[in-house]
Amino acid sequence: MVFSSLNFLYYFLPILLIVYFSVPSRFKNLVLFSFSLVFYFYGEPVYSILLIGSSFSGYLHGRLIHAFKGTNLAKTFLISSIVVGLSLLGFFKYSNFFIENINTIFKADLGLIGIVLPIGISFYTFQVLSYTIDIYRGEVAVQKNALDFMMYVALFPQLIAGPIVRYETIENQLRGRLHTFSDVAYGIRRFTIGLAKKVLVANTLAELVVHFENAQQPSVLFFWLGGIAFTLQIYFDFSGYSDMALGLGRIFGFKFPENFRYPYIARSITEFWRRWHISLGMWFRRYVYIPLGGNRVDKLKLIRNILIVWFLTGFWHGAAWNFIIWGLLYGILLLMEKLVLKEAIERIPGIIRHVYVMFVVVIGFVLFNAESLAEGLHNLGGMFGLLAVPLVSPEALYYLISYSGIILIGVIGSTPLIAKIIELLRTYPHVRRATDMMEPVFYILVLLLVTGNLVDGSFNPFIYFRF
């Protein structure tokens, strides 16, 4: 089940809200856990067992690490937790990748494993691991209630595409959260905006990406158009999902961390990754980069640390070489900014730095979106005129004109410009009163427009389900 579906919007969510706010506080976690399992079971009936097993493994390992705190057994159980979590993730996500590479290198003929990637396994595995590691470090208190812990892992708003919510972030909210009208209202607004970003913007841009992939008249312009369209699509798709997750969390009394802060306004690659998929970056920093020594090491070890983190970041996103190269590309650029170009970049005008960042981001997402490294390199070759294709084709011009409106909306919507204009206008009392009165009408109209698109059977993929 996805948030941008009629079943979720008009069946699952209303029923959950009625039940959740009808039961006493002591039953609210049970209700959320039960409905989260239904939510996951709807899309992954068989792998629901894997979700429950991973959750219980995290709970059990946390209890054992706490019980033997200060002894070698605590470290043993921590290692056991990491091995269990990464083994499950490795088997389901990376088995065929390794088999394919063994076949290529050794000319073998090993058969691929007929498995489907469980939705959300990359996200909930990292949440479980962060909990057991933090227990071992003594940074969080052990959760003795199995239901509460398993609800934290399976909580449906952030289950299948993040943000990666560390246990410490919502530890006090598992039992002591408050429910207020202002939080519910904020949650509804945030969810609706995310829903609009996903259905009205990302899905329309996805259509343009599909047109590029099926192009009958490829051209340099079309290759660039496809790359830019996907760059905007993935932002509105993923940030829209994060908005919906944060909004739903707030409705149920949880305050999840922000996952995006207008990354496309960044003026360096370093700044971009402080704004994009923030929870993933923080996870790797806390549990990989700093344990390796972070930046408090000599230059060679610093290079090693950053390349390891970005190799893993790319590999986390997908079991293919184009994801690994994508991650390492950013690792190399971050090293260049940190060790070579830092002072030079700061002297360059902001607009040029911004163009540099967006150029890199588009190039990176062309690799990211490819089905293979070969396809990614082919598309990059098309962008830079290395293929036998014309500079411009009638088909490319047609789609450029047809989708120019949504591209412009995407470019403007990926910046804080609209929010700043609204904030400025609301400084005038009469404008504030008018917007306060019209705001409910606006959100109702947005919901109706989204519903119309979904009833019409519009293209409705979720990019991050792949990871």
Distance between start and end Cα atoms, the chain = 16
CA-closest candidate to residue 271, choices 353, 344, 327: 353
CB-based burial label for 368 (10 Å; 0-12, 13-18, 19+) = buried
430 is a catalytic site residue: no
Catalytic entry in 66, 211, 317, 378 = 317
Say how far apart CA 151 and CA 32 lie, in whole Å.
Answer: 7
Contact 132, 81 (CB under 8 A): yes
Other CB atoms within 10 Å distance of the CB of residue 161: 26
Residues labelled catalytic: 317
